[in-house]
Chain A
Amino acid sequence: MSEEYKREHVFGLDYGTSDFKFGPITLGEVPEVVENRGYFIDRSSLMSRIMGVRRDLVVGKDVPRFLESREDLAERMVYPMRNGVIAKDDERAWKVIEELTRYALEAFAPKDESFQGFYAVASISIISPRYMYEHLFEMFRKINEERILVKAATIIPQPLAVAIAHKTPTCTVVESGHGNTQICPISMYPVRNAVMALNRGGGAANILTMEILKDAGYGDLAKEESLVRFVKERIGLVPRNLDEALRYARSNLDKVRISIKVPGTRIRVDLGEKAWARFLIGEYVFNPGHEIFQSYFARGMPKPSDVKIGDTYFYGMMDMAEAIITSIEKCPIELQPHLYSKILLSGGNFGWRVPEGLEGVAVRSDQKLKEMLAEKGVENVEVAIVGDPKYSVWRGCIVYGYAVPLDYPWKWERMEGWMNVA
């Protein structure tokens, strides 16, 4: 097997908490994206028999075609990476991951005989325990039993993939997906004992959006998670300063008001006089401790709680700037200025836009964090949102796979290299 073959067959797999991004090097800069979820079909049902459904589990773009009633959704739909970690004995979650991986590899595996498997680079959360690495390697071997799809595999933490994609050996990566936020200082390698995790991401903003929709009279729509996410992405705003933004919104309703139509349906959402609540959605991601959110908690909205998963604490209510400072202050003092001077924001949860006419009141994620850090006395900070934040982990996987030499075997002590799985 030649180095040239490897370079042409690098395959990136980014197991995000909400979306699964995948594809070979030949896809260029944009991977394929499907939701990181699987739907277990009730094969005992009469309709499944009549329709000749032979599968137990559906993943990828076919999922919506098999959905049954709303009541069944919660029980049958499995989001395996919801908090970035899969329990060792969670068979259904591992089954979904295996099926998704097979789905991804089969979509791009060439039919011709010269194909001897991809060089797969999988990326998972920095807080993933060792058994997840072992399980993933085992899964690749199992997939190969039917047909060789993976020649060798390697696994890297998501923040490291981001740093690689941006060729930045010393930086702090803040990777915020659907389920959680990982803050990871990097100095050639991830500084593992300085990693901080927040038990909130885009999903927390979805929950708040649901409440805002209910308050605006769209209680029936608020039950559908995909619709809530769509609304959040269209209407959510990050305020420079929440109190000032709310004052502005109340006196300039016409500038803040928005009406959106859900494609392919007759549904139109308009918050009307409650359009000021758009600013709460973005603020909640960065600082759920603001007093305005107390009224939502008092009415039953779940508060992001502190949880311990494996050896890692996920903080629920800590504001994002505080978490970054805590993380960097666990590193050597000499290194700290370098870590503040390059903070990279990655992940779909940083893709907030500033609509025309609201510049200055609403800001992008990088500006928000810079201001929050300045308020806490941290200067000389450089915060940047990576280009296409949703895809940067996948791109890092591709660059990593391209660069790691073929003859560099996997080493458990360093967690790097190729594991032969064929």
Chain B
Amino acid sequence: MTISVRRPDPRALDGLVSVLSRECWYIDVYYYLRGKEALEVAGNLGLRLDEGGEGAEIKRLEVRGVSLKVNLYPRPAALTVSYRVGWGEANRGVVRKIHERIFGGRREAGLFEKLLRWSR
């Protein structure tokens, strides 16, 4: 089964994958990005995508214990990110965290920030 979602809210995506994980052995999540957005996401993931450059590349990153496969296509300035999650990962909120990492969303609170919040 394939579900296409355009620009999902991170929490909604997290909820969707969490619900699906009860019925599916695993869920593959794909992001297809083009142009400026692809360049930005490459930067967020600490990778380089030289627009118009030569040679596609496949990189693997680990985020929250989940292996992300990143296909970088410099010439057409395109990028895809894909990963697989099961019930365990889906219920740890990993999907939302990966989404935020990809789009440079809310940063994880550091220890100092957590202490500060706790003291308040």
Binary interface encoding of chain B residues 84-105 relative to chain A, with 1 for a CB under 8 A from any of its CBs, else 0: 0000000000000000000000
Binary interface encoding of chain A residues 100-139 relative to chain B, with 1 for a CB under 8 A from any of its CBs, else 0: 0000001111111000000000000000000000000000
Within the complex, the shortest CB–CB distance from A246 to chain B, in Å, comes to 39
Binary interface encoding of chain A residues 302-341 relative to chain B, with 1 for a CB under 8 A from any of its CBs, else 0: 0000000000000000000000000000000000000000
What is the chain B residue whose CB lies nearest that of A33? Answer: B76
Binary interface encoding of chain B residues 65-93 relative to chain A, with 1 for a CB under 8 A from any of its CBs, else 0: 00000010101101010100000000000
Contact partner of B56 among A28, A30, A108, CB < 8 A? A108
Q: Do residues B56 and A107 form an inter-chain contact, with CB atoms below 8 A?
A: yes
Given contacts A26-B71, A29-B4, contact A112 B57 (CB under 8 A): yes
Is A382 interfacial (CB-CB < 8 Å)?
Answer: no
- Which chain B residues border A26 with CB–CB below 8 Å? 71, 80, 82
Chain A residues numbered 272-291 whose CB sits less than 8 Å from any CB in chain B: none
Given contacts A28-B80, A29-B4, contact A110 B57 (CB under 8 A): yes
Is A32 interfacial (CB-CB < 8 Å)?
Answer: yes
Is B61 interfacial (CB-CB < 8 Å)?
Answer: no
Cα A28 to Cα B33 with chains together (Å): 9
Q: Do residues A109 and B80 form an inter-chain contact, with CB atoms below 8 A?
A: no
- Determine which residue in A23, A109, A111 has the highest number of CB atoms from chain B within 10 A of its CB, and name it: A111
Is A258 interfacial (CB-CB < 8 Å)?
Answer: no
Given contacts A27-B78, A27-B80, A28-B80, contact A111 B57 (CB under 8 A): yes
Cα A110 to Cα B71 with chains together (Å): 9
Cα A107 to Cα B71 with chains together (Å): 12
- Which chain B residues border A29 with CB–CB below 8 Å? 4, 32
Cα A111 to Cα B75 with chains together (Å): 13
What is the chain A residue whose CB lies nearest that of B32? Answer: A28
Q: Do residues B32 and A109 form an inter-chain contact, with CB atoms below 8 A?
A: no
Query: DSSP class of A's interface residues: helix, strand, loop or mixed?
Result: mixed
What is the chain B residue whose CB lies nearest that of A31? Answer: B76
Contact partner of A110 among B30, B58, B76, B78, CB < 8 A? B58
Cα A26 to Cα B73 with chains together (Å): 10
Q: Number of A residues contacting the other chain (C-beta, 8 Å)?
A: 14
- Which chain B residues border A23 with CB–CB below 8 Å? 76
What is the chain A residue whose CB lies nearest that of B52? Answer: A61
Given contacts A26-B71, A27-B32, contact A32 B55 (CB under 8 A): no
Cα A29 to Cα B32 with chains together (Å): 8
Chain B residues numbered 4-60 whose CB sits less than 8 Å from any CB in chain A: 4, 30, 32, 34, 54-58
Within the complex, the shortest CB–CB distance from B61 to chain A, in Å, comes to 15
Cα A224 to Cα B56 with chains together (Å): 35
Q: Do residues A28 and B30 form an inter-chain contact, with CB atoms below 8 A?
A: yes
Cα A106 to Cα B4 with chains together (Å): 28
Q: Do residues B32 and A111 form an inter-chain contact, with CB atoms below 8 A?
A: no
What is the chain A residue whose CB lies nearest that of B72? Answer: A110
What is the chain B residue whose CB lies nearest that of A24? Answer: B71
Cα A2 to Cα B34 with chains together (Å): 29
Cα A106 to Cα B54 with chains together (Å): 8
Chain A residues numbered 1-57 whose CB sits less than 8 Å from any CB in chain B: 23, 26-30, 32
Chain A residues numbered 69-117 whose CB sits less than 8 Å from any CB in chain B: 106-112
Cα A123 to Cα B36 with chains together (Å): 30
Cα A28 to Cα B80 with chains together (Å): 8
- Determine which residue in B4, B56, B58 has the highest number of CB atoms from chain A within 10 A of its CB, and name it: B56
Cα A246 to Cα B53 with chains together (Å): 51
Top 8 closest A-B pairs, CB basis? Answer: A28-B32, A107-B75, A111-B55, A26-B80, A110-B56, A32-B76, A26-B71, A110-B58
A residues contacting B by CB (< 8 A) are 23, 26-30, 32, 106-112
11 further contact pairs, Cβ within 8 A, besides A28-B80, A30-B34:
A23-B76, A26-B71, A29-B32, A106-B54, A107-B56, A107-B73, A108-B73, A109-B55, A110-B58, A110-B71, A111-B56
Pairs A–B under 8 Å by Cβ, sample size 7: A26-B80, A26-B82, A28-B30, A107-B73, A108-B56, A110-B55, A110-B58
